[in-house]
Every structure is written in structure tokens, then in C-alpha cells.
Amino acid sequence: MARSKMLVFSNPVAGQDTEFNEWYDTVHLDEVLAVPGVVAGERYGRVPAQLPGAGSTGQSYLAVYELDDDPDKVVQAFQERAAAGKVGLSPALDLASLVVTVWRARE
């Protein structure tokens, strides 16, 4: 049972939306799903509807990954795979606006 989520808020580099989404949908999503402890992933695009008074993170895209292992172990496995070249980044990804957070269900 997945008890943690990894949320990834991201933007493409200006003018590279097509390249960014092609990379994320056909390469990166599978790379992340291959990390031990990541059991599911889904991408979302921001819509203009907002609750009154609610702010925005400023990112256009959100990926939500379900984790079924200790988040520290999953993050370590992710970093190891990235260092080994098994998880790569696209030049179309705007690293300056990237935000990655891990959330654990409250008990």
C-alpha cells in the first residue's frame, strides 16, 4: 500500500513545451517508475481555475508518484540511478523552477 507521495512541480524552458512534454511522457516517466519503491505516477497540467484567495506555485506541470517503501530509501535509490545515468534530465526542463517534495500520510 502506497503511503507516501513524491510531488514534482515543473516548467519547460521557454518555447520548449513540446520537447519537454515529449521527453517527460516518453522517457522520464518510465525512468522514474523503474526506481525501486515507485509504484505509480501520473502527470497533470495546471488549469486556470483557482479558489478565491489561493496562490499558485508558478509551475505549469505536476507529476505525482506513489511510493510503497520508506521515502528515504526511494530518494536514495533515485539518486543512485541518476548518478548511474539511468535517470536523466532534458535540456527542455527549467531546473530553476523545479520543486520536488515527498509527503508521508499522517497516521
Which neighbouring-strand residues pair with 67? 4, 38
- Which tens digit of pLDDT belongs to each residue from 37-78? 999 999 999 887 766 666 677 899 999 999 999 999 999 999
> Is it the case that residue 2 has pLDDT exceeding 70?
no
Distances (CA, A) of 26 to 5, 21, 29: 21, 8, 7
CA-wise closest residue to 38 among 93, 94, 81, 96:
81
Q: What is the pTM assigned to this prediction? A: 0.89
Neighbour tally for 22: CB within 10 Å: 14
Identify the pLDDT of residue 51.
Answer: 67
- Which tens digit of pLDDT belongs to each residue from 10-19? 999 999 999 9
Angle at 60 between CA 49 and CA 13, to 5 degrees: 155
- Which tens digit of pLDDT belongs to each residue from 80-90? 999 999 999 99
